[in-house]
Amino acid sequence: MIYVILVLSIIFNAFSIWYVRNLLKDLHFFSSEFSTLDYNLNVFKKHLEELKKLTTFSDDPVIKGLYEHVDDLTEYMESFQELYNTEESGEYFDEEEEDSPQ
């Protein structure tokens, strides 16, 4: 009877380790994709700033509204990124991916 419990415990622990490892990989993937999205948003914001400097579009309400929306979205994404930033522990995943066969 004790061997059955031992085998079940080993199987459960192995499954738990596999599951948590996959969750951490997904979190790292999400974090890196989020960083890419944040970078693209900042590039777009810089383009809008250049557009805002042009005298042709300086009084356009659509451009002003778009710029306000980008500012709001940038602020939201900065606060959201603090929650899901895994860049500090990214070395662990890079080493792990090099060791694992694909």
pTM for the whole thing?
Answer: 0.53
pLDDT of residue 89: 47
pLDDT of residue 13: 97
Look-up of token digits 């042709």: 56
Ranges of residues in the chain with a pLDDT under 50 are: 89-102
pLDDT of residue 18: 96
Determine whether 88 is exposed, middle or buried from the number of CB atoms within 10 Å of its CB (0-12, 13-18, 19+).
Answer: exposed
Q: Which amino acid is at 47?
A: H
